[in-house]
């Protein structure tokens, strides 16, 4: 009996040990599976926020990128336009989203800086409210007029605007935006004084210019290059350090005696606190997406200049750009 009891006890002990081992093994597998599921990114649609209306340069850039990026990531990339506040309705929303990589958006520079640098606005957000992912487009500013405009050259325009303060109207898209800063700098350099009409989108400004409701269209090269090539508009000057490869016949402001370089930098960012793993996933995916031949062809046709920056180079670029706005505005 003692021997039988010992055998039975041993058998039960073995069964128990096997059960415990199985439980631990299953638990380990479940934990591993959960970890794998948690690490999988992305596994649902990503929202790509545009802080301006449809039809402008940022919107066009976003919609061109969304399709090849969706294919690389294997999930839908949905463009969302959030308008108003000179872009800050969208940027404020982006800053307060969950930093899980499923809500990202364009943080346009220098446009966004005025919204928090201006002490009168008392805004809580700043550059630190975002996780910069990649800058992929630099789009220089340009001034243009309709073909029958009385202003045949930049010099004629600025002379008239100096002699007739605030009589000449020109558009901008929010206080402290790239077009607004470009106008402000040219006023400082030339003594001219314009009447600035602030709109929510470049598409709205183009409509106003084409219908004669504003005298001068301030925009970006990528937004008007084709209209200038087609003769719908006439370029007066590009605010860049050299002529645009897309509009080689339009002189720069520097060539015409006004040392002003201004541009729109379209930076894709997430809310502050995004994990670097997800940032790296997005950088790799965007880098692959912009190499798509169809995407590159569309960019060239629209006059959009690729300028990929990530990591420390991007952070330095943003901080230097921020400092330029501080100096120009005296903040």
Residue-level pLDDT at 241? 87
- State the Cα–Cα distance between residues 155 and 190, nearest whole angstrom: 10
Classified as helix, coil or strand, 127 is helix
Instruction: Give the pLDDT band (50/70/90) at residue 3.
Output: very low
pTM to 2 decimal places: 0.72
Domains of the chain: which residue ranges? 46-134+266-329, 140-256
Asked if the model's pLDDT at residue 191 lies above 50, the reply is yes
Percent of the chain with pLDDT over 90: 66
Tell the burial category of 329 from Cβ atoms under 10 Å away from its Cβ (0-12, 13-18, 19+): middle
Q: Do domains 46-134+266-329 and 140-256 have the same CATH topology?
A: yes
What would the two tokens of residue 310 be? 């990530």
Mean per-residue pLDDT, 210-216:
97
Neighbours of 147 (CB within 10 A): 9
Instruction: Give the pLDDT band (50/70/90) at residue 300.
Output: confident
Residue-level pLDDT at 264? 86
Residue-level pLDDT at 39? 63
CB 101 within 8 A of CB 278: yes
Phi-psi region of 35 (alpha: psi -120 to 50; beta: other; left: phi over 0): alpha
Q: What is the mean pLDDT of the chain?
A: 88
Nearest to 104 by CA among 328, 327, 296, 266: 266
CB 48 within 8 A of CB 65: yes
DSSP category for residue 234: E
Residue-level pLDDT at 37? 44
Residue-level pLDDT at 25? 43
Give the angle 139-142-148 at the CA atoms, nearest 5°: 145
- State the Cα–Cα distance between residues 85 and 17, nearest whole angstrom: 66
Residue-level pLDDT at 85? 86
For domain 140-256, the CATH architecture is 3-Layer(aba) Sandwich (3.40)
Nearest to 73 by CA among 38, 48, 36: 48
Residue-level pLDDT at 19? 39
Report the DSSP pairing between strands 46-50 and 103-109.
Answer: parallel
Mean per-residue pLDDT, 70-91:
95
Nearest to 63 by CA among 324, 315, 321, 266: 266
Tell the burial category of 253 from Cβ atoms under 10 Å away from its Cβ (0-12, 13-18, 19+): buried
Instruction: Give the pLDDT band (50/70/90) at residue 23.
Output: very low
| Span 156-169, pLDDT tens digits | 999 999 999 999 99
- What's the N-to-C CA distance of the chain in angstroms? 95
- State the Cα–Cα distance between residues 221 and 123, nearest whole angstrom: 31
- State the Cα–Cα distance between residues 102 and 81, nearest whole angstrom: 16
Say which residues have a Cβ less than 8 Å from residue 175's Cβ, sequence separation at least 6.
Answer: 86, 114, 118, 198
Instruction: Give the pLDDT band (50/70/90) at residue 314.
Output: very high
Provide the sign of the torsion angle of the four alpha carbons 152, 156, 158, 162, taken in this order: negative
Q: How many CA atoms lie within 13 A of 247 on its CB side?
A: 34
Provide the sign of the torsion angle of the four alpha carbons 170, 176, 182, 186, taken in this order: positive
Residues in the chain: 331
Topology classification of domain 46-134+266-329: D-Maltodextrin-Binding Protein; domain 2 (3.40.190)
């Amino acid at each position: 009996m003692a021997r039988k009891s010992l055998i039975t006890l041993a058998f039960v002990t073995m069964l128990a040990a096997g059960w415990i081992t199985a439980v631990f093994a299953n638990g380990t597998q479940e934990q591993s599976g959960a970890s794998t599921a948690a690490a999988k990114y992305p596994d649902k649609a990503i929202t790509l926020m545009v802080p301006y209306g449809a039809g402008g340069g940022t919107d066009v850039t976003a919609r061109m990128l969304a399709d090849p990026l969706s294919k690389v990531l294997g999930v839908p990339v949905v463009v969302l336009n959030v308008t108003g506040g000179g872009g800050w309705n969208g940027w404020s929303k982006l800053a307060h989203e969950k930093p899980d990589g499923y809500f990202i958006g364009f943080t346009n520079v220098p446009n966004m800086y005025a919204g928090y640098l201006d002490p009168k606005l008392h805004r809580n957000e700043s550059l630190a409210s975002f996780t910069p992912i990649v800058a992929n487009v630099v789009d220089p500013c340009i001034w243009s007029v309709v073909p029958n405009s009385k202003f045949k050259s930049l010099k004629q325009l600025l002379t008239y605007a100096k002699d007739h303060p605030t009589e000449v109207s020109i558009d901008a898209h929010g206080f402290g935006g790239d077009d607004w800063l470009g106008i402000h700098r040219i006023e400082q350099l030339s003594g001219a004084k314009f009447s600035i009409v602030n709109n929510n989108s470049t598409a709205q400004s183009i409509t106003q210019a084409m219908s004669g409701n504003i005298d001068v269209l301030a925009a970006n090269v990528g937004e008007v290059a084709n209209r200038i090539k087609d003769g719908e508009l006439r370029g007066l000057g590009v605010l860049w350090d050299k002529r645009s490869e897309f509009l080689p016949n339009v002189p720069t402001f520097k060539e015409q005696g006004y040392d002003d370089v201004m541009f729109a930098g379209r930076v894709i960012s997430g809310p502050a606190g995004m994990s670097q793993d997800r940032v790296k996933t997005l950088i790799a995916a965007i880098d692959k997406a912009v190499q798509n031949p169809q995407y590159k062809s569309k960019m060239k046709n629209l006059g959009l200049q690729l300028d990929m920056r990530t990591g420390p180079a991007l952070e330095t670029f943003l901080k230097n750009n921020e400092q330029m706005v501080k100096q120009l505005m005296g903040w």
